[in-house]
Chain A
């Protein structure tokens, strides 16, 4: 905040209307300006607050987690029991953790396979000129804005075995709901969780796709219309290809989000039953808090970061790279 205080005195110079004196030709402060200490100072001034904040609250804790991962520490007393790579060995050998990694990947893949077409379909639908479009758009964003805790509390009620609304609906259509409930049957819980996740986060996909669709020039649709293309043909030939970069951006965010999944799982299942829905994040929080195994939690954090990092880099190389090169 102190930075902005320093900025303020310089501001009044620009207060006057800009266009009026634009005629006078002086040394053009070209944006790509000829270097010098002044430019460096300005860049520094602009970037430092953000970088400092991230260094303190993002980078430092991650570094500390890395350090913690090499010790056996109960969160109590000095951290002096160095165990080398032992915590990593424990984490990677722990079936609960490897299962958690599997769950994360199942959710990554399912999200892409299910939420992408679904989100796209709804976005295209909402991009049509239909009545109450504004209201409809508003409605589809609702779950995305609802807090994970609230969504968890409400869905937990809906999914109660026997008494819950979902069980009622399932039996109403003549099916037998699972005896232990959708959240209590280990073989079903991950799928149930995914349904709730889709409900919660589909709005994000729709939001981005709608934003992307706004950028499709009307002229293209008009031209297609004149050529006699159907609505669907126009979408497939024009809108969807133009949405490519948006979809790739969404896929990236969705992937990262799925790998980091925590809040909703924690509230809804706590990773259970029988570890059927543990994710890497619930595993590490559980190790750190319920079990006071801070070293193991640290090692799990590092593994989670490495997995996310590798996937992001691969995605950048194989998918996003295309956009960058195409764009130039």
Chain B
């Protein structure tokens, strides 16, 4: 990752014909296979939610017949579901804000200042990629609950998650900040703006596409996180993935209900990610292009 030098810019010229070759039957056929394999399991879950348990037991692979809406209705009118959703949202938002803000702050000097410790410092963040949460999960748990007294709180989960999201954030944002034309900043500096002011007024807005990319990645990671919330959150504080796991235990006879629950639980992250998909791709471009 230390290689991420780039020319990726926040603003790009409108593109002309990017590729030649449209789609023959072969291309569409392949695309159809990819789509079927990719969406199959998700559709199975989504459609399963529209069936009864009896239908599922009779023919696991069938289509809903008749369509049943009570499963989804049941989930949407379930207080616990909304409580989990609120918890998931708050934790994900806090994680994202902290990770992106601290991340862009850290990436800025790494991109713009010349100092002796710059590369070693960057290496610290790259090394951070090597620490999976699972490695230190038990001490982390002791730290959060016993030493910080943040067990079973939103912050107790969001702060460690943000910390683990930081390496990726910095690694992606640095090339982004590097690509911002220096002239803009120099002009501001000449005007007497402070370095901090330049960061705040120029670098931050111009790196917004990159921040959206890392923000969405951090948000989705938090939304889907399982291990850390599992250890730290209980009862009223649980997040959706824990809710899914619990729901599938508590209502274990109700496979259709479980499928409906899981389907609804995946929607927010899916919508967010897919809506911003183009921005993420161009955001990542800065990080991966050599």
Contact = CB atoms under 8 A, between A and B. Distances in A.
B282 A147 contact: no
**Majority SS at the chain B contact face:** helix
B76 interface: no
Contacts, number: 390
Contacts of B255: 157
B202 interface: yes
Could you say which interface size class chain A belongs to? 35 or more
Given A26-B192, A65-B138, A154-B44, A11 B200 contact: yes
Contacts of A56: 143, 159, 163
Contacts of A252: 1
A153 B262 contact: yes
A263 interface: yes
Interface residues of B, number: 124
A64 B135 contact: no
B274 A138 contact: yes
Nearest to B57: A163
B139 interface: yes
A18 B143 contact: no
A53 B34 contact: no
B288 A212 contact: yes
A33 B226 CA distance: 45
Contacts of B163: 53-54, 56-58
B236 interface: no
Interface stretch (B66-74, B77-85, B108-116): B108-116
Contacts of B131: 58, 62, 305
Contacts of A267: 226, 245
Interface in B62-111: 98, 101-103, 105-106, 108-110
A179 interface: no
A67 B30 CA distance: 53
The 9 closest A-B pairs by CB, nearest first: A245-B290, A260-B132, A64-B139, A29-B189, A61-B136, A14-B193, A130-B23, A14-B197, A147-B224
Contacts of A211: 281-285, 287-289
Interface stretch (A94-102, A182-190, A217-225): A217-225
B106 A46 contact: yes
A43 B200 contact: no
B199 interface: yes
A234 B21 CA distance: 11
A150 B45 contact: yes
B135 A154 contact: no
A314 B22 CA distance: 41
Contacts of B143: 56-57, 60-61, 64
B167 to A, nearest CB: 8
Contacts of A49: 101-102, 105-106
A199 B41 contact: yes
Interface string A149-192: 11101110110100111001100000000000000000000000
B109 A47 contact: yes
Interface in B111-127: 112-115, 121, 124-125, 127
B159 A57 contact: yes
Contacts of A125: 27, 30-31, 34
A113 interface: no
A154 B45 contact: yes
A147 B269 contact: yes
A78 to B, nearest CB: 13
A270 B193 CA distance: 57
B77 to A, nearest CB: 21
Contacts of A312: 127, 129-130
Given A42-B109, A43-B109, A245-B288, A7 B41 contact: no
A288 B138 CA distance: 7
A158 B277 CA distance: 28
A181 B3 CA distance: 44
Given A13-B193, A50-B166, A210-B281, A146 B42 contact: yes
A267 to B, nearest CB: 7
A297 B138 contact: yes
A90 interface: no
Interface string A6-18: 0110111111101
B38 A199 contact: yes
Nearest to A284: B134
A129 B23 CA distance: 7
A25 B1 CA distance: 39
B191 A22 contact: yes
Interface in A282-328: 284-285, 288, 294, 297-298, 301, 304-305, 308-309, 312, 316, 320, 323-324, 326-327
